Copies of this chain bind each other. A is one copy, B any other.
Amino acid sequence: MEVYPKEHLASEKVGRLLAVARGEERADLVLKNARVTDLAGGRLWEADLAIAEGRIAGIGRYSGYREEDLRGAVVCPAFIDGHVHVESSMVSLPDYARAVVPRGTLGVVTDLHEIANVLGMEGIRYMLEVSRGLPLELHVMAPSCVPATPMETSGAVLGVEELEKLRQEGSVIGLGEVMNYPGVVAGEPEVLAKIRTYRGLPVDGHAPGLSGEELNAYVAAGILSDHECVTADEAEEKLARGMYVYVREGSTARNLEALLPTVLSGSPDRFLLVSDDVNPEDLSTRGHLDFLVRRAVELGIEPLRALRMVTVNPARRFGLPDTGELVPGYRADLVVLEDLKGMRVLQVYRAGEKVAQEGENLWVAPRVVRQAPASVHIAWDRIPGIALRAEGRKVRVIGVVPDQIVTESLVEDARVVEGWAVQDPARDLLKICVFERHRGTGNVGIGFVRGFGLREGAMASTVAHDSHNLVVVGASDEEMLFAARVVERMGGGQVVVRGHDILAELPLQVAGLMSTLPLEKVREGVKRLKEAARALGCDLNDPMMALAFMALPVIPSLKITDRGLFDVGSFRHVPVFLSDPGSRADDLAR
């Protein structure tokens, strides 16, 4: 028996449900004196809400074996996050659930893009398995872009065949954000075939800044949502083209305020409020969708309209049955709010069982039997080292832009010592390496970076979008190699070292992305890493986050993958050294 039923009610139980609805039998539980949200009618009804067989039996006047007097508190449907990468929380799924369930979230639509890039189908199945028995329902979108680009080595490839298989297994509800929007617009057969495989199911978009004819083409391919709008005009155009607009308000990208005019004027059924990526700090201190809804209301969105964006709208958009509204026969997944202003979550019910009260979880996660598969496989014997023989006087340097995931493409004089191009911390010229960690290829990309500001020591991370190889930045090769070894030994994670001292570390044994520690411990770990980096001279707001995006070759300008420096503008790998002016070699490489 499933602890939290996903299926339709067994026929023998429907009879009792109807008898309770008719008022002829007592309910299992009645929430008395509630103000019941009516999201379609746009009002509150003062009524009791009766629950039987884990379902909503009726709204009206009822009595039950158990009764809970809500004293005028508001009952609304449990929250569903329509677009979130749960891996960004850096905690395992049970701990993620512990964090979000008391906030009212009982469903997340997640495309597991991160873990799939590391562990492929195995990663998706692992997450589904771990989700069993949790009060948080995992609605998985098949990751459409694994690997994100062919310019790097990922842990897995999900082609049309694998995506077809996932659909047939019934383990996914749609196709996750199709980030290869240039490919879609251009009509590349591979990506169109993936979309075709998911016809009839939701296919999510990712089309930053796409407009006009290109947007028409993207939509014509069958993609009817987007969560990348950053201006009201952009949202207005996408809405007009038939797209659901997922308003993103995460830890990094926050678009709610900018999109407000469109949200207020557009049809209330077409907007979702999603978190996309939330880091442990925000998850712990701000909360989850409760925070987003509160913020929406503060910005002037009518409370029931705001609630729609995290309840009925995602439920309908993704075809989630029997959920998202307070409807007799639907699963009794409920949130009790103090009022519609503060949106403070008092109680949370899953299938009629109270799972949280005043921020405290009332459920116990099933013991997780299955461990995540090992995910760090580095073939040291195939790696000669990370020293760089000087092949010119000028080097390309990745220029970190604080608080942005874009970088600049700089050119600097190399510091050459005995024929080797080496770090020059005095000029903030550090070395950055990406070790391929999935397949033991021995690939390592080596380059220079400015902006981390480490005067000494090194930082390493297996969180490195999107292929999540092992990325290391440091003031010396020795410290960088040490940091890499430490992370390897942890089975994935993040570390800051100086000499041979580990200043701070956060093991992320689940695919090198998520910890097995509780959220609070992870949050502390993240904080220690930050402080350690700061002590070494790094004044970035989030050094590890910055590091994690150095390897993302779809975001301008200069990035690095396990195959070397990558110039996003020309969309090709480039050598570290610029040849002398007029040299043919460099021209060719361009």
How far is it, in angstroms, between the C-alpha of A56 and the C-alpha of B216 when the chains are bound? 9
Interface assignment of A214: CB less than 8 Å from any CB of chain B: yes
Interface assignment of A582: CB less than 8 Å from any CB of chain B: no
Q: Does the CB pair A58–B266 fall under 8 Å?
A: no
Q: Does the CB pair B269–A267 fall under 8 Å?
A: yes
Q: Does the CB pair A221–B267 fall under 8 Å?
A: no
Q: Does the CB pair A239–B40 fall under 8 Å?
A: yes
Q: Looking at the complex, which one of B196, B217, B241 makes contact with A18 (CB distance below 8 Å)?
A: B217
Q: Which residue from chain B places its CB closest to the CB of A14 in the assembled complex?
A: B192
Q: Does the CB pair B18–A329 fall under 8 Å?
A: no
Given A8-B199, A213-B58, the answer on whether A224 and B327 have CB atoms closer than 8 Å is yes
How far is it, in angstroms, between the C-alpha of A270 and the C-alpha of B192 when the chains are bound? 33
The distance from the CB of A35 to the nearest CB of chain B, in whole angstroms, is 13
Q: Does the CB pair A15–B239 fall under 8 Å?
A: no
How far is it, in angstroms, between the C-alpha of A11 and the C-alpha of B193 when the chains are bound? 8
Q: Looking at the complex, which one of B22, B217, B321 makes contact with A22 (CB distance below 8 Å)?
A: B217
Interface of A is mostly: mixed
Q: A15 — which chain B residues lie within 8 A by C-beta? A: 187, 192
Q: Looking at the complex, which one of B8, B43, B216, B326 makes contact with A328 (CB distance below 8 Å)?
A: B216
Given A265-B41, A267-B40, the answer on whether A329 and B222 have CB atoms closer than 8 Å is yes
In the complex, per-residue mask of A288-326: 1 if CB is within 8 Å of any chain B CB, else 0: 000000000000000000001000000010000100011
In this complex, which of A236, A241, A308 has the most chain B Cβ atoms within 10 angstroms of its Cβ?
A241
Q: Does the CB pair B329–A220 fall under 8 Å?
A: yes
Q: Could you say which interface size class chain A belongs to?
A: 35 or more
In the complex, per-residue mask of A71-110: 1 if CB is within 8 Å of any chain B CB, else 0: 0000000000000000000000000000000000000000
Interface assignment of A19: CB less than 8 Å from any CB of chain B: yes
Interface assignment of A209: CB less than 8 Å from any CB of chain B: no
Q: Which of A44-92 contact B (CB under 8 A)?
A: 45, 55-60
Q: Does the CB pair B327–A21 fall under 8 Å?
A: no
Interface assignment of A503: CB less than 8 Å from any CB of chain B: no
Interface assignment of A518: CB less than 8 Å from any CB of chain B: no
The distance from the CB of A56 to the nearest CB of chain B, in whole angstroms, is 8
Q: Does the CB pair A220–B17 fall under 8 Å?
A: yes
In the complex, per-residue mask of A347-385: 1 if CB is within 8 Å of any chain B CB, else 0: 000000000000000000000000000000000000000
Q: Which residue from chain B places its CB closest to the CB of A7 in the assembled complex?
A: B199
Q: Does the CB pair B11–A240 fall under 8 Å?
A: no
Q: Does the CB pair A11–B266 fall under 8 Å?
A: no
**Copies of this chain present:** 2
Interface assignment of A242: CB less than 8 Å from any CB of chain B: yes
Q: Does the CB pair B21–A57 fall under 8 Å?
A: no
Q: Which residue from chain B places its CB closest to the CB of A305 in the assembled complex?
A: B267
Q: Which residue from chain B places its CB closest to the CB of A52 in the assembled complex?
A: B220
Interface assignment of A496: CB less than 8 Å from any CB of chain B: no
Given A212-B60, A242-B325, the answer on whether A40 and B217 have CB atoms closer than 8 Å is no
Q: Does the CB pair A267–B268 fall under 8 Å?
A: yes
Q: Which residue from chain B places its CB closest to the CB of A62 in the assembled complex?
A: B213
Q: Does the CB pair B196–A11 fall under 8 Å?
A: yes
The distance from the CB of A164 to the nearest CB of chain B, in whole angstroms, is 14
Q: Which of A171-211 contact B (CB under 8 A)?
A: 185-187, 189, 192-193, 196, 199-200
In the complex, per-residue mask of A325-343: 1 if CB is within 8 Å of any chain B CB, else 0: 1111110000000000000
Q: Which residue from chain B places its CB closest to the CB of A39 in the assembled complex?
A: B267
Interface assignment of A140: CB less than 8 Å from any CB of chain B: no
Interface assignment of A38: CB less than 8 Å from any CB of chain B: yes
Q: Does the CB pair A242–B187 fall under 8 Å?
A: no
Q: Does the CB pair B41–A213 fall under 8 Å?
A: no
Residues of A within 8 A of B (CB): 8, 11, 14-15, 17-19, 21-23, 38-43, 45, 55-60, 185-187, 189, 192-193, 196, 199-200, 212-214, 216-217, 219-222, 224, 236, 239-242, 262, 265-270, 308, 316, 321, 325-330
Ranked nearest first, the 10 interchain pairs of A and B with the lowest CB-CB distance are: A242-B327, A58-B216, A220-B328, A21-B217, A220-B329, A21-B216, A269-B269, A38-B240, A18-B187, A219-B328
Given contacts A22-B217, A40-B270, list 17 more A-B pairs with CB under 8 A. Answer: A11-B196, A14-B196, A14-B221, A18-B187, A18-B220, A19-B187, A21-B216, A21-B217, A22-B185, A40-B267, A41-B262, A41-B267, A43-B240, A57-B216, A216-B328, A242-B328, A268-B269
Chosen A-B contacts, 13 in total, with CB atoms closer than 8 Å, are A11-B193, A21-B220, A40-B242, A40-B267, A42-B267, A58-B213, A58-B220, A224-B327, A241-B327, A242-B325, A242-B328, A267-B308, A268-B268
